[in-house]
Amino acid sequence: MSVAKVLQPYAVGDVFVGATVLNDPNDDHAGAGRILQYGADLQLKGELHVPQTTHLIGGLKFDSRGVLWAFDSHSFTVLNIHPDGRIEQRREFGARPFSHVNFAADGTLLFGEHVVGDAIKPEVQARMKTHIPHMPGTHRFGDGHVFRFRADGTKVSEYATATHGGMGGFLGVTMSAISPDQSTLVYCSETGPRLMRYDLVGDRQLPDLQSFSPPYPPGPPPMFFGMEYGSDGVLYVLRGGSIHVVDPSGQTLRQVSLEGFGWATIDLARDGKYAFVSSFFSGEVAKIDLQSGAKLGSIQTGAVKSLAGLVEYQGEGR
């Protein structure tokens, strides 16, 4: 089937996926930026090539105007993709390794720095096939902090968020969500065993919502990935092979098992009945019933180890 190389007019229920074309034999995170658009029937309907990015394009999220935000932390790129297809590069936010955004109720924007520090664990560095760049004029990848901006790019606050580093020791605030009362940011350093919290009102680190220390039980080590608050006020967080439903006290109320491992990004339906989740390893996007755990549908994007962004369009004003 031939698909137009543009995004089609957005319709409620469309699913958008950041699926970089990995075409650099010397760098397994580098390639041509691409966003795929699927209809509510999960059939491909549009494709947008994004020349402004050089590595994995991700962090997809719609604002209340229906503008799609996207990021490439390798090239310090923040993009706005407008409903008319226009791609706007938001240089006013500076050259920092931002990878995602949260939209606060007061209209400000909270960006998380994807990487932190200046070193990678040697055993991980030996296996890596990508280069983590330093921020311009520095000798570090990033600070792993969260920044609050006004919509015009004016910086309001910089929060000195603690990070874990993940398996490689260099991952910062890779995924995050604002609590329903807007007071707390819950976040992780993906592949790490801590679900961290920061007090946005008091500007201070809080005790972890959940955390694990070795020795770990048999099976994959505990890891945290994407998260989102539901309309019921509880947190839905991916743990690689399952979705955990976590209450405000940090207790896991229940788990939704997923097939295989590598599920890293999540987007909840507005009514809380289902979620879309994506696997970094396989490139699959699955629609999951959050009560029964049943798979309601599947998209085979073919974006193996390049799927870094996922969002369902639920209309303007979300």
DSSP string over the chain:
----SSPPPP-TT-EEEEE-EE--TT-TTBEEEEEEEE-TTS-EEEEEEETT-SB--EEEEE-TTSPEEEEETTTTEEEEE-TTS-EEE-GGG-SS-EEEEEE-TTS-EEEEESBEES---HHHHTT--S--PPPTTSSSSEE--EEEE-TTS-EEEEE-----BTTTT-B-S-EEEE-TTSSEEEEE-TTSSEEEEEETTTTEEEEEEEE--SSPPSSSPP----EEE-TTS-EEEE-BSEEEEE-TTS-EEEEEE-SSS-EEEEEE-TTSSEEEEEETTT-EEEEEETTT--EEEEEE---TTTEEEEEE---TT-
Output the pLDDT for position 85. 85
**pLDDT bracket for residue 4 (50, 70, 90):** low
Percentage of the chain with pLDDT > 70? 98
Answer yes or no: is 10 within a domain. no
Answer yes or no: is 131 within a domain. yes
Answer yes or no: is 129 within a domain. yes
Answer yes or no: is 7 within a domain. no
Instruction: Give residue 29's domain range.
Output: 15-312
Query: How many domains does the structure of the chain reveal?
Result: 1
- The CATH number assigned to the domain holding 194 equals 2.120.10.30
Phi, psi dihedrals of residue 125, rounded to the nearest 5°: -55, -35
Answer yes or no: is 83 within a domain. yes
Answer yes or no: is 152 within a domain. yes
Answer yes or no: is 8 within a domain. no
Answer yes or no: is 88 within a domain. yes
Whether the model pTM is above 0.85 = yes
Q: Does the structure show a pLDDT above 80 at 5? A: no
Q: Does the structure show a pLDDT above 70 at 78? A: yes
